[in-house]
Structure 1
Amino acid sequence: MADSTFATPDLTTFARLDTLGLQVTGQFLEPDRAVLACRAVKGDELCRACGEPGRPRDSTTRRLAHEPFGWRPTILLVTVRRFRCDGCGLVWRQDTSAAAEPRARLSRGGLRWALTALVCQHLTVARIAEALGVSWNTANDAVLTEGRRVLISDPSRFDGVRVIGVDEHVWRHTRRGDKFVTVIIDLTPVRDRTGPARLLDMVEGRSKQVFKTWLSQRPETWRTGVEVVAMDGFTGFKTAAVEELDEVTVVMDPFHVVRLAGQCLELCRRRIQLATTGHRGHSGDPLYSARRTLSTGADLLTEKQQLRIAELFANEQHLAVEATWGVYQIMISAYRDPNRAAGKNRIRQLIDSLASGVPAALIEVRTLGRTLRKRASDILAYFDRPGTSNGPTEAINGRLEHLRGSALGFRSLTNYIARSLMETGGFRPGLHLRLR
């Protein structure tokens, strides 16, 4: 570092206090924190009632938690002067609103740091409170209040939504109280390839009426703009969408369609297992040993797995399992077909073939056929809407599971919804958080 030059450090600029209207006048290092003595730059000597110059009366000190440097809590001791007007007798103090909200314990810089740490770096509130040198309740209340202001209460949060996804989510694991919520996701950025999906809202309960009520509360112009709703196999969500959204296209997610076929195969395997052996699957039973191999796509089977499947289906008692497995494989290969038109045609042919003429012995396949026929338009709509899938919705559900785990659970649904919106609602501190 031969060419480096050093000058007297400017703590005001280093601590980013110039943007808060403060100037550092001194510093003191304690074993567990750094303390910066500051004064407000703005004078405010004129009386706010009559406009006459006031005279200094006394001063008071305001203590604020600021963003930490080197993970050491930084405390601001702001000296605030008070003035008195000899003409009207009014007493006032210097304006420090640029540094912090009235009665706030965090500076605006500390609040911005806390919100960024929570949303972008996924730190816990406990870790943030430790870094700021404040209590958990102080950090949590400040972050939730600011998050509601810059994101949740932002009227433009619902602008430009054309594709949404809806799914249920378990927000707590308790025996008492409703543990389910309905999550509504904006999938427009995913379809347009402009960004990730984001959480739009979370509503208590999981039913047709819950989703229908949420949709009815949206403005008419917003509902008219929604083109596609991606969902799982729950018919209540579909009914609500069709009743509240004009000319909307409902798309049933491929994952849930394949899962229906997978469940059909598993139920058939268990039924035949019980019928042929008289007991549930045991180690060494052919059907039980091949349960994972049966759920694997045919194009991914190893030679050993292919041999196991051939030996399994060589037994005439397993014909029902073989027929159900064939339906499952056709569905998987259709969705994996790189030609979407060809894949759609194969799914349509499968649905038509299961609509009638299925032997009575294939109980599970007959049930699957009725379900596929009932949701045929929703299943086929996937192939006409590239990039529309409920997969991002499931991904956000996974992020919410991580949030709940890092917080060791939530007792308040209101706080959980607020934290979820900040975590997965598309918040970007550089775009949303502005010092007032």
Structure 2
Amino acid sequence: MLPALNPADRGALSATAVSGTPRHISFLRWHKVVFVLMMAASLIYAFYNDRGLRYRVDMEVYRVGAQRVLDGQELYSGAFQITPDVVLPFTYPPISALLFVPLTFGSHTVASVCITLANVAVLFALTRLIITRFAAVDSSTGSWLALATTAALVPIGPIWSTVVYGQINIFLIALIIVDTMVLPRRWRGVLTGAAVAIKLTPAVFGLWFLLQRDWASILRMGAGTLGLTGIAWVILPQDSRTYWLDTLSATGRIGNMDFPANQSFNGALWRAGLRDDTSGSTLWLLLALITIAVVAALMVRLFHAHAPFEALAANSFIALLASPVSWTHHWVWIPLLVIAVTLRVTHPATRDSFSSRMRVIWKVCAAAGFCCFLLEPKAFTPIPEFGGEWNLFWHVVGNSYLWWTVVCIAVLWVLYRPLAQGSHAAEETPVTPVPHQGVNPKK
């Protein structure tokens, strides 16, 4: 049986927080100036390139899809002319198009500014939440540290591609984190279900509830998904019918499987010539099943180690590794996981739970991940679609997201073993009351 994570009916992140009075760090004025300048530089870099304001391609797909809904046009017929050289289809469920309607209220530039600022603001809020809980600092300290950390995260591959493309991944993980880590148990599951209705992939997070036998939250998750999907079906019956009965199975609309930005096992198999339209599916399915089993076992270990947030982030590995397509902007969970584990491993109140060798191993793993996701080696690889061929070097370097995640799973398994074993021992060892100065322990 997994340990109870929420005995006081509060958000599960309370089970993760470092105990004790929150610390306050007094930053000097020049520290704060540096943090603000870091954020300003990151925002400028996110907004502009050498040609001017960056064009957010994916956001424009959302805008055009929402506009077609407003104009009464079919949402899934053909593709949209996003730029003179780019034609892309709308691949999200119908409810997404309805939620994207506010993007049509202004020009592309206005929408671009709004979604960029919103992405960075939500990232800041998530980072602040993690830092205040895992570093046990007060609100003011957490805010300043989160400002600097967010500025440093913006150029990191998954965050960068999400912000630059105008994607919604940060919003989706915010729904899931707030749902599972912040809201009281009686509401848990609804927001995760809403995320599923918007982009299907978050359905894998049902495993987080399942492993805890949290049946009520699973039902609420289903209600959240069906509720939003039902609203879309009432408003857009024809588009809903087309999507669920036809478009959903047309995986070719998502993009080329062998494109280097697809860092899942499936993408690696395609680039290695072990998978195509007619063969290789058995090998991919086998890898997917192994991934699910290994990640589920890791999550159980993390639950026993009283690390529910790490278990939640690890849950994302299933979607990232086992999905047919995992574009680089899907990997936004990774930076948050690295921050959380690094804080747990280095904080004075918790670091002694880990051996000095394992602390070093994790720091090396985190540093390698930072380099991997910042430098994005896959950006320099040959593109198979245009005749580029991959040798052994490119299969190692070009699949860097994939290989780092596999290594991370192994490191987390060993890193959290002492905490998980300690939890087992505490559960299995009976505690005998010790009489003290005539006090009756049975009383």
- TM bucket (normalised to shorter chain) is under 0.3
Query: Looking at both structures, which has the greater relative contact order when contacts are Cα pairs under 8 Å and sequence separation is at least 6?
Result: 2
Structure with the higher fraction of residues in strand conformation? 1
